[in-house]
């Protein structure tokens, strides 16, 4: 029988499995799942083609059915042409744009809604820069649970249309995801609905572990030298980092953990600034602006963990201009045929800059995550 506890990522305070927790009641930092049952064996990976293939490594019991829309199992596409553009030896794109509702957010929300349903919460609410709202709307519908989404009015139109198409309540707010976050927290408090905001609960991170588990399996349990991840709230990076760590502890791979490279936009780069200043926490970015909507997160709750993930993997972080993001997004599409999101373009632009500046060895083998689909940004 699989068992786990919830452990505060900062002070270590522990709560039992499926406790009705948001943030740590002692220090206000996020909880992470810690498995207390014996280490899962990779021979027990399931013969199914979605992220629940990795159920042995995820917080789900054998007698539970996941809330699943076929998320994960995304292509890992090697492109020698794009490697030449970036100036590295080998480059793969992990294309997350083909997920349900067209972004990697499907991974985390599938895992979080699965646990929320098991706990029998009355409804689900999320603040979003767009894609998390679309994913929650879909998984809420799949679970038969009511959903309310708070999104900035400036969210790309196709994403708002997807949220509405799922028949859930959509509230648009003036401002950014931080403003939407205040509204959702208030609503969650008065309604008793479960707040699935990034890192306010521990299970979205668990779903995002499959970004790394799947990559490892696709590379026959070898790992690249570096992974580049466009970063907003940080759940993607934190999930990957946790999975790389667990895979080593569980004996699934003996490959070195890849350097984690965080890509941000110059108009909203709190993690890049904190790393440069040698800080443990990021200070909120004033007046965040970028057309890569998923990166418009001025005050990420996971700042401490993202900074640790970068430092402990000898990774890096850099920001690029809106113009570079546009150029690189077009470049990915025209060179590979992958309909990249601007966030993916941001990743390519950062990678290219780091190689040019001598911060990343040109002999590296690199995986670039294209976290969403270009189609979500065309109106
Ligand atoms: C949410 C999102 C990101 C940022 O991911 P975080 O886990 O919040 O850092 C990047 N790209 C896209 C397309 C997104 O939707």
Over residues 117-139, mean pLDDT: 96
Cα gap 53→236, rounded to integer Å: 19
pLDDT at 211: 98
Task: Summarize pLDDT for 156-191 with one digit per residue, the tens.
Answer: 999 999 999 999 999 999 999 999 999 999 999 999
**Would you say residue 1 has pLDDT above 90?**
no
Kindly tell me the burial class for residue 164, based on how many C-beta atoms sit within 10 Å of its own C-beta (0-12, 13-18, 19 or more).
middle
Distances (CA, A) of 22 to 27, 159, 212, 259: 12, 27, 25, 30
Expressed in angstroms and rounded, the spacing between residue 359 Cα and the centre of ligand 1 is 24
Mutate to test the pocket of ligand 1, among 196, 295, 299 (most ligand atoms within 8 A of CB): 295
CA of 1 to the centre of ligand 1 (A): 33
E-strand stretches of 64-221? 76-78, 90-95, 124-127, 147-152, 169-173, 194-195
> What is the number of helices (H) and of strands (E) in the chain?
12, 13
**Is 148's C-beta closer than 6 angstroms to any atom of ligand 1?**
no
pTM to 2 decimal places: 0.98
Question: Which amino acid residue places its CA nearest to atom 2 of ligand 1?
Answer: 294
| pLDDT at 19 exceeding the cut of 80 | no
Q: Is the CB of 155 under 6 A from ligand 1?
A: no
Query: How far is it, in rounded angstroms, from Cα 90 to Cα 74?
Result: 19
Q: Which two tokens stand for residue 166?
A: 């799922």
pLDDT band at 21 (very low <50, low <70, confident <90, very high): confident
Q: How far apart are CA 346 and CA 320, in angstroms?
A: 7
Residue 319 predicted with pLDDT over 80: yes
What per-residue confidence (pLDDT) applies to 17? Answer: 86
User: Is 257 a pocket residue for ligand 1 (Cβ < 6 Å)?
Assistant: no
Q: Please report the domains of the chain, with CATH numbers, ordered by start residue.
A: 76-103+204-377 (3.40.50.1100)
Long-range contacts of 52-55 (CB under 8 A, 24+ apart): 52/110, 54/209, 54/210, 54/213, 54/214
> pLDDT at residue 244 above 80?
yes
Atom of ligand 1 nearest to the CA of 238: 7
Over its C-alpha atoms, the chain yields an Rg (Å, rounded) of 19
- φ, ψ of residue 277 to 5 degrees: the values are -80, 0
pLDDT bin (cut points 50, 70, 90) of residue 147 is very high
**Ligand 1 pocket, 372 CB below 6 A?**
yes
Best mutation site among 30, 96, 103 for ligand 1 pocket (most ligand atoms within 8 Å of CB): 103
CA distance 15 to 228: 33
Which atom in ligand 1 lies closest to the alpha carbon of residue 239? 7
Burial class (CB in 10 A: 0-12, 13-18, 19+), 118: middle
Q: In the predicted model, what is the mean pLDDT of residues 138-150?
A: 98
Give me 131's structure tokens: 């894609």
- Token pair of 16 as six digits: 């039992």
Angle 244-308-272 (CA atoms, 0-180°, nearest 5)?
A: 115
Supply the pLDDT for residue 379: 78
The protein residue whose alpha carbon is closest to atom 14 in ligand 1 is 294
């Amino acid at each position: 029988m699989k068992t786990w506890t919830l452990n505060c990522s900062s002070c270590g305070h522990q709560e039992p499995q499926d406790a009705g927790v948001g943030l740590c009641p002692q220090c206000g930092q996020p909880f992470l799942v810690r498995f207390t049952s014996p280490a899962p064996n990779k021979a027990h990976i399931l013969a199914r083609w979605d992220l629940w293939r990795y159920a042995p490594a995820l917080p789900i019991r054998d007698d539970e059915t996941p809330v699943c829309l076929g998320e994960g199992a995304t292509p890992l596409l090697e492109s020698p042409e794009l490697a030449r553009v970036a100036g590295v030896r080998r480059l793969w794109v992990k294309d997350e744009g083909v997920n349900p509702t067209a972004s990697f957010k499907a991974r985390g929300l599938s895992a979080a809604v699965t646990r929320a349903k098991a706990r029998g919460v009355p409804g689900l609410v999320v603040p979003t820069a767009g894609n998390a709202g679309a994913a929650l709307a879909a998984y809420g519908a799949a679970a038969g649970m009511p959903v309310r989404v708070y999104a900035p009015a400036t969210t790309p139109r196709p994403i708002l249309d997807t949220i509405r198409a799922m028949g859930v309540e959509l509230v648009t707010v003036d401002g950014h995801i931080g403003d939407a976050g205040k509204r959702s927290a208030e609503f969650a408090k008065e309604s008793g609905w479960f707040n699935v905001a990034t890192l306010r609960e521990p299970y979205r991170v668990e779903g995002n572990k499959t970004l790394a588990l799947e990559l490892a399996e696709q590379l026959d349990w070898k790992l690249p030298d570096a992974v580049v991840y466009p970063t907003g709230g940080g759940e993607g990076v934190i999930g990957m980092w946790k999975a790389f760590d667990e895979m080593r502890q569980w004996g699934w791979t003996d490959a070195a953990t890849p350097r984690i490279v965080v890509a941000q936009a110059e108009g909203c780069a709190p993690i890049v600034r904190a790393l440069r200043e040698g800080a443990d926490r990021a200070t909120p970015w004033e007046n965040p602006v970028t057309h890569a909507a998923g990166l418009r997160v001025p005050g990420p709750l996971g700042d401490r963990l993202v900074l640790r993930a970068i430092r402990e993997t000898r990774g890096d972080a850099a920001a690029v201009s809106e113009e570079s993001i546009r150029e690189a997004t077009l470049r990915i599409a025209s060179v590979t045929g992958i309909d990249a999101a601007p966030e993916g373009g941001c990743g390519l632009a950062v990678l290219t800059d780091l190689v040019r500046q001598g911060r990343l060895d040109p002999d590296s083998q690199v995986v670039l995550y294209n976290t969403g689909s270009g189609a979500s940004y065309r109106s």
